[in-house]
């Protein structure tokens, strides 16, 4: 017998329940990835993610080759390509992971109908994306948690399945056509400092994180210049690493750092369970409606390009364009500045992030944006992060700013956060803009718009 294992958000061989069950009892399996035209049409194929994906597929193919198999890649409509491959390989069933969001669910339905018409079955396995399945824990009488802390209390108690070893051999039928693997070069305009993708790289980073980094995570995760977070988010997004495995390994290691890290992984699951229950929250306000957002195009452009005149915000935005990744504290500051200080619709910022972030993920991006904008699940929706106070706290010597804003590289110490206070002759020599908005004016505007006065 032959089966097809369709890779989606699980570009790995370790701890992959879909691949494991496709192999179970079958003589041969077709490990398939489809470059889905639906994803492209939805505008979700940002160059940084395409480049990372190219690395992931190359690595997956290499690992399968080591085990006697190979990866089959097709491009086009996912339903049509899966049916074609199933027919060509005379497969009896297709295995895929359950999707939590709107698009994966629709994909699953279409696949099921098309395969049934051909007399084949679709085996849908538990989600491979989160550590705890969306919907596995719920408050009494409701379909999802809107507040993190009670969610986390239940999440922590869920018994986890065993982590699965990578298969030793994978036998693939002969003669199944594969398109060429996509190349990193063909991805388009990629951020110059983009990280490398793939399961091998993800596992290397995971081991490095476990041996040095995780122990100090509780104290250092907000340290902007220290850059002391795991940077595993793109590997989690593409499924090069399994969230189930990460949680179990961290728990085994134990300690304050590991506990804090596991808590962040629970935040990731939290957003996935919100989106699974409320798919429209990817675009519509989760809580409030009808905000009268402003939209000054010059201010939006200054924010996107990192020339707002607030150094910590500009550093954050330039890190994003240079690396396709941003520190979590920087994301909070940049998002708060756009939505609360400039009072611009969160969807504008979320779109820009999705165009660049290598870990860009509908659940985590859209719902974190809503959280910061105060339209989402945050229990303190009107909190405004002051970029100067935050800079003082999380970049006290200004090193993060000097790293990303070269115009200010010669300004020493914390003075770099307030260039307008520098002596006139120093200020005049800097090719750096004046603030786009006065913070007090921004705050007054926000309070008036939200009816807080
Ligand atoms: P670590 O601090 O090492 O955390 C470990 C893991 O926990 C992360 O890899 C991530 O998977 C998860 N995690 C940490 N914080 C959060 C959080 N607040 N919400 C959800 N999961 C979290 N994360 C994404 O993966 N994709 C996105 O598109 C995304 N967009 C964001 C947009 C905004 C406006 C904000 C404020 C946050 C966003 N985040 C997003 C969450 C968070 O910023 C990143 O997950 C984190 O910075 C990734 O770096 P790390 O892997 O070093 O994180």
Domain count, the chain: 3
Query: Is any ligand 1 atom within 6 A of the Cβ of residue 357?
Result: yes
CA distance linking residue 132 with residue 248, whole number of Å: 12
pLDDT of residue 292: 82
Distance of CA 22 from the midpoint of ligand 1 (Å): 31
Do 351 and 435 belong to one domain?
yes
User: Nearest 10 degrees: CA dihedral of 47, 208, 243, 186?
Assistant: 20
Question: Is 263 in the same domain as 313?
Answer: no
Q: Which ligand 1 atom sits closest to the C-alpha of 265?
A: 7
Nearest CA to ligand 1 atom 49: 231
CATH of the domain at 31: 3.40.50.620
Q: Which of 214, 359, 362 to mutate to test the pocket of ligand 1 (most atoms within 8 A of CB)?
A: 359
Enclosing domain of residue 100: 2-128
d(CA 55, CA 88): 27
Name residue 213's beta-bridge partners.
none
229 lines ligand 1 (CB under 6 A): yes
Query: Does ligand 1 come within 6 angstroms of the Cβ of 14?
Result: no
What is the C-alpha end-to-end distance of the chain, expressed in Å?
70
Residue 174 in any domain: the answer is: no
SS3 annotation, the chain: CEEEEECCCCCCCCCCHHHHHHHCCCCEEEEEEEEEHHHHHCCCCCHHHHHHHHHHHHHHHHHHHHCCCCCEEEEECHHHHHHHHHHHHCCCEEEEECCCCHHHHHHHHHHHHHHHHCCCEEEEECCCCCCCCCCCCCCCCCCCCCCHHHHHHHHHHCCCCCCCCCCCCCCCCCCCCCCCCCCCHHHCCCCCCCCCCCHHHHHHHHHHHHHCCHHHHHHHCCCCCCCCCCCCHHHHHCCCCCHHHHHHHHHHHCCHHHHHHHHHHHHHHHHHHHHHHCHHHHCCCCCCCCCCCECCHHHHHHHHHCCCCCHHHHHHHHHHHHHCCCCHHHHHHHHHHHHHHCCECHHHHHHHHHHHCCCCCHHHHHHHHHHHHCCCCCCCCCCCCCHHHHHHHHCCCCHHHHHHCHHHCCCCHHHHHCHHHCCHHHHHHCCCCCCCCCHHHHHHHHHHHCCCC
Regarding whether 314 and 248 lie in a shared domain, the answer is: no
Exposure string of 427-445, with b = 16+ CB inside 10 Å and e = fewer, is: eeeeebeebbbebeebbeb
The per-residue pLDDT for 289 is 58
Q: Which of 1-15, 24-38, 90-104, 377-391 has the lowest mean pLDDT?
A: 90-104
pTM of the model: 0.97
Distance 130 CA to ligand 1 centre (A): 13
Instruction: Quote the radius of gyration of the chain (alpha carbons, Å).
Output: 23
Are residues 115 and 139 both part of a single domain? no
Instruction: From the CA of 335, give the closest atom in ligand 1.
Output: 34
pLDDT at 194: 98
As a whole number, mean pLDDT of residues 2-14 equals 96
- Is 317 a pocket residue for ligand 1 (Cβ < 6 Å)? no
Q: Looking at the domain assignment, is residue 230 inside a domain?
A: yes
Q: pLDDT tens for residues 220-279?
A: 999 999 999 999 999 999 999 999 999 999 999 999 999 999 999 999 999 999 999 999
Classify the complex by whether its ipTM is higher than 0.95, answering yes or no: yes
Judged against a pLDDT cut of 80, whether residue 116 lies above it is answered with: yes
Question: Measured in angstroms, how far is the CA atom of residue 328 from the centroid of ligand 1?
Answer: 6
Same structural domain, 338 and 269? no
pLDDT above 60: residue 323: yes
Q: From the CA of 360, how far away is ligand 1's center (Å)?
A: 9
Q: What is the pLDDT of residues 177-232, one digit of tens each?
A: 999 999 999 999 999 999 999 999 999 999 999 999 999 999 999 999 999 999 99
The CATH number that applies at residue 262 is 1.25.40.80
In a domain, 384, yes or no: yes
pLDDT band at 43 (very low <50, low <70, confident <90, very high): confident
Beta carbon of 237 within 6 Å of any ligand 1 atom? yes
Nearest CA to ligand 1 atom 30: 365
**pLDDT classification of 396: cutoffs 50, 70, 90:** very high
Residues 418, 303, single domain; the answer is yes
Whether residues 248 and 135 share a domain: the answer is yes
Taking residues 154-166, what's their average pLDDT? 95
For ligand 1, atom 11, the nearest C-alpha belongs to: 233
Q: Is residue 374 part of a domain?
A: yes
Cα 366 to middle of ligand 1, angstroms: 12
Report if residue 186 sits inside a domain.
Answer: no
Kindly state whether residues 268 and 152 are assigned to the same domain. Answer: yes
| Residues with Cβ within 8 Å of residue 301, at least 6 apart in sequence | none
Band (38; pLDDT cuts 50, 70, 90): confident
- Is the C-beta atom of 347 inside 6 A of ligand 1? no
Under 8 Å between Cβ of 401 and 315: yes
Do 78 and 114 fall into the same domain?
yes
Q: Domain check: are 304 and 438 in the same one? A: yes
Looking at 249, 277, 305, which one is the last position of a domain? 277
Q: Is the pLDDT of residue 41 over 90?
A: no
Residue 453 to residue 442: CA distance in whole angstroms = 14
Pairing label, strands 72-76, 28-36: parallel
Mean of per-residue pLDDT scores for the chain:
95
Is 221 near ligand 1, meaning CB less than 6 Å away?
Answer: yes
- Calculate the dihedral angle through the C-alpha atoms of 193, 199, 202, 208, rounding to the nearest 10 degrees: -130
361 touches ligand 1 (CB under 6 Å)? yes
* The pLDDT of residue 295: 86
Give the Cα separation of 59 and 200 in Å (integer). Answer: 7
Nearest CA, atom 46, ligand 1: 328
Least confidently predicted of 200-209, 298-307, 375-384: 375-384
pLDDT for 392 = 97
Q: Which of 157, 39, 54, 160 is nearest to 99 (CA)?
A: 39
Cα angle at 367 between 279 and 141, to 5 degrees?
60
Specify whether 352 is located in the same domain as 408: yes
Choose one of 368, 369, 373, 390 to mutate for the ligand 1 pocket test, by most ligand atoms within 8 angstroms of C-beta: 368
Tell me: do 348 and 365 sit in the same domain: yes
Instruction: Please tell me the distance between residue 14's alpha carbon and the centre of ligand 1 in angstroms.
Output: 22
Residue 178 within any structural domain of the chain? no
- Residue 431 is predicted with a pLDDT of 93
* Residue that is last in its domain, among 277, 312, 342: 277
99 part of a folded domain? yes
The whole-angstrom separation of Cα 173 and Cα 142 is 47
Q: Which atom of ligand 1 is least distant from the CA of 360? A: 28
Instruction: Select from 103, 128, 153 the last residue of a domain.
Output: 128
Closest among 225, 227, 201, 199 to 213, alpha carbons compared: 227
Counting ligand 1 atoms within 8 A of each CB, the residue from 364, 373, 385, 390 with the most, and so the one to mutate, is 364
CATH number for the domain spanning 419: value is 1.10.579.10
The answer on pLDDT for 100 being more than 80 is no
Residue 266 lies in a domain: yes
* Band of residue 61 on the pLDDT scale cut at 50, 70, 90: very high
């Amino acid at each position: 017998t032959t089966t097809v294992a369709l890779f989606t958000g699980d570009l790995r061989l370790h701890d992959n329940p879909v691949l494991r069950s496709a192999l179970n009892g079958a003589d041969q399996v077709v490990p398939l990835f489809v470059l889905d035209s639906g994803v492209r049409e939805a505008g979700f194929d940002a160059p940084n993610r395409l480049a990372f994906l190219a690395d992931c597929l190359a690595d997956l193919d290499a690992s399968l080759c080591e085990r006697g198999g190979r990866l089959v890649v097709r491009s086009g409509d996912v339903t049509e390509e899966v049916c074609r491959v199933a027919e060509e390989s005379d497969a009896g069933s297709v295995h895929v992971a359950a999707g939590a969001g709107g698009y994966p669910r629709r994909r699953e339905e279409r696949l099921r109908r098309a395969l049934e018409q051909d007399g084949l079955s679709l085996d849908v396995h538990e989600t491979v994306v989160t550590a705890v399945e969306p919907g596995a824990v719920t408050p009494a009488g409701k379909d999802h948690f809107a507040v993190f802390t009670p969610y986390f209390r239940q999440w922590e108690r869920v018994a986890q399945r065993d982590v699965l070893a990578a298969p030793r051999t994978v036998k693939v039928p002969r003669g199944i056509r594969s398109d060429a693997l996509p190349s990193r070069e063909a991805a388009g305009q990629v951020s110059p400092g983009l990280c490398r993708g793939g399961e091998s790289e993800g596992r290397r980073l995971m081991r490095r994180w476990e041996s040095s980094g995780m122990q100090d995570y509780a104290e250092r995760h907000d340290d902007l210049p220290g850059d002391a977070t795991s940077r595993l988010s793109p590997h989690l997004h593409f499924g090069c690493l399994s969230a189930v495995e990460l949680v179990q390994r961290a728990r085994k290691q134990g300690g304050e750092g590991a506990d804090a890290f596991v808590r962040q992984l629970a935040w990731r699951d939290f957003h996935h369970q919100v989106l699974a229950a409320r798919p429209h929250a990817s675009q519509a306000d989760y809580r409030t409606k009808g905000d009268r957002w402003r939209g000054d195009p010059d201010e939006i452009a200054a924010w996107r390009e990192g020339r707002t005149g607030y150094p910590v915000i500009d550093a954050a935005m330039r890190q994003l364009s240079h690396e396709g990744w941003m520190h979590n504290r920087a994301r909070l500051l940049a998002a708060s500045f756009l939505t609360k200080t400039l009072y611009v619709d969160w969807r504008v910022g979320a779109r820009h992030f999705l165009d660049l972030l290598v870990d860009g993920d509908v659940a985590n991006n859209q719902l974190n944006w809503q959280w910061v904008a105060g339209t989402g699940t945050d229990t303190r929706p009107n909190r405004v992060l002051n970029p100067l106070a935050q800079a003082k706290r999380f970049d006290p010597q200004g090193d993060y700013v000097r790293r990303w804003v070269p115009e200010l590289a010669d300004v020493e110490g914390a003075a770099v956060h307030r260039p307008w206070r520098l002596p006139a002759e120093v200020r005049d020599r800097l090719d750096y803009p004046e603030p786009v908005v006065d913070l007090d004016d921004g705050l007054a505007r926000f309070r008036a718009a939200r009816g807080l006065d």
